[in-house]
Amino acid sequence: MPAASHLDSRVDRGAEVGPGPGWELGDSVLRAVRGHHAFEGCVEQLATAIRLGVYPRGTTLPPERELAERLGVSRATLREAMAGLRAAEFVQTTRGRGGGTVVCYRPRRPSARGARALGPRSEHLRDTLVFRRVVEPGAAYIAASRKLGVAERDLLVAAHDEVAGATDPAEHRQADSRFHLAIAAVTDSALTVQSVTVVQADLHDMLSAIPVLAVNIEHSDRQHRLILGAVLASEPTRARRVMERHCDDTAALLRGLLT
């Protein structure tokens, strides 16, 4: 595998390189590839996980053996997928002691320029907003209904704190996705995680195509705080209702700015 030529200063410093929260979320988000297109399936899942911030920029991906087992593919197929991700500048790989595959994908800053490119997908994306209104409130309800362990509660709190503390718009977008994926992860339902991942991938594209609105960010962060509080307090009905409002507000914003 070709060695990485360089990473930007944030990664070169080394302080942020290494296992991160994505390792825990990745265990839930990544699933066995189905069908005969194992290579394409690996690329799709890993690229989506990276775009959504499950594996943030500067973190090291899990070892090849673990990823191959998680995706249910041979190590040869995984290596081919990694080569594709390197060619697309999603990851870089270094050899030798202390080496590994590091995420170098730079999240796209939200802007209105991308709205026109979503035109051919407009019908599908409108349907995504409807599907999200069903799936994510349900995930919040189930998460709040379960007796969460310490690790699950810590995952939720860490994900919330990341999105609340993000100042860069692109990093905030990824942290937002991680928070919603963390809620899905603690439902202990693989199908729920899969559905929320699909929803968040489409939502990521839509939100990246509109201007960043400070007021909306404030509203979103406040709703995240309420959702987290309801889940940790084991109040499923409240968690579902707050998530419903959160989904409705985001859908209204997107329908207004993308249509």
pLDDT tens profile 37-55? 888 889 989 998 998 999 9
Stretch (H or E) spanning 93: strand 91-94
Q: Where in the chain is the domain with CATH 1.10.10.10?
A: 9-103
Quick one: pLDDT at residue 75?
Answer: 94
Which of 154, 155, 215, 218 shows the shortest CA–CA distance to 185? 155
Quick one: pLDDT at residue 240?
Answer: 98
Q: Which portions of the chain are predicted below pLDDT 70?
A: 1-23, 36, 109-121, 259
Residue showing tokens 């730079």: 106
What is d(CA 8, CA 107) in angstroms, rounded to the nearest whole number?
13
What is d(CA 91, CA 58) in angstroms, rounded to the nearest whole number?
9
Which DSSP symbol is given to 154? H
CATH 1.10.357.10 fits 9-103, yes or no: no
Q: Where in the chain is the domain with CATH 1.20.120.530?
A: 112-258
The alpha carbon of 26 is separated from its chain's Cα centroid by a whole number of angstroms, namely: 9
CATH 1.20.120.530 fits 112-258, yes or no: yes
| CA neighbours closer than 13 Å in the CB half-sphere of residue 192 | 20
Whole-model pTM? Answer: 0.78
Which DSSP symbol is given to 33? -
Residue showing tokens 């362990």: 149
Quick one: pLDDT at residue 11?
Answer: 42
Contact indicator for 140, 184 with CB cutoff of 8 Å: no
What is d(CA 193, CA 191) in angstroms, rounded to the nearest whole number?
5
